[in-house]
Copies of this chain bind each other. A is one copy, B any other.
């Protein structure tokens, strides 16, 4: 039975983890007889967005504490994540992946990954353990792998171009499909980069998790 670490980045599509993608990830993991544990960096969110009007509000929120909402309290800080204890890793999307886990949303091709996230992800890569990236999370792949990896963020030209400039090999992908890099053991799916509904997001996430679990075997 595979044991998978899930990395969250807050709670809400515009400043944290995309909630539907996170829950669909948990559901797909259980449907593939995998167990999972959530983690998130213990850092302030880049900002807090009112999800009705999209405006920034003058509040501070912590990524780990807000992520705990999605995880029903069952979450640990990134620094407690040891790659030895898990068979694979998954990053759900949401702007939090591009604002809190890295700063791709602000700095594009010049972005950097949060040190606690980068260190853990590189451990999984060194151990040849597979990682799944959902939605905008694949923007971190070039910095984690430091070599050409096939990946997708759907079909957005500007985003794809920035990731190619970082060294990624972007493949256009439908919402219900996945891009697999067998050599590097990386799988990605567009989810809400393209999805118009929760069931559309689910279609790609189910395939991504099934592939991730295959790669752990």
Contact = CB atoms under 8 A, between A and B. Distances in A.
A96 B48 CA distance: 21
A80 interface: no
| Contact residues on A (Cβ < 8 Å of other chain), bracket | 20 to 34
Contacts of A11: 11-12, 19, 69
Interface in A99-123: none
Max count, chain B CB within 10 A of own CB: residue among A50, A59, A69 = A69
Identical chains in the assembly: 2
Nearest to A14: B73
A85 to B, nearest CB: 20
A16 to B, nearest CB: 8
A11 B18 CA distance: 13
B26 A198 contact: yes
Interface in A172-212: 192, 197-199, 202
A11 B19 CA distance: 10
Contacts of A202: 27
Contacts of A166: none
A50 B59 CA distance: 15
Given A30-B199, A31-B199, A198-B30, A51 B72 contact: yes
Interface of A: 11-14, 16, 18-20, 23-24, 26-27, 30-31, 50-52, 54, 59, 64-65, 68-73, 75, 192, 197-199, 202
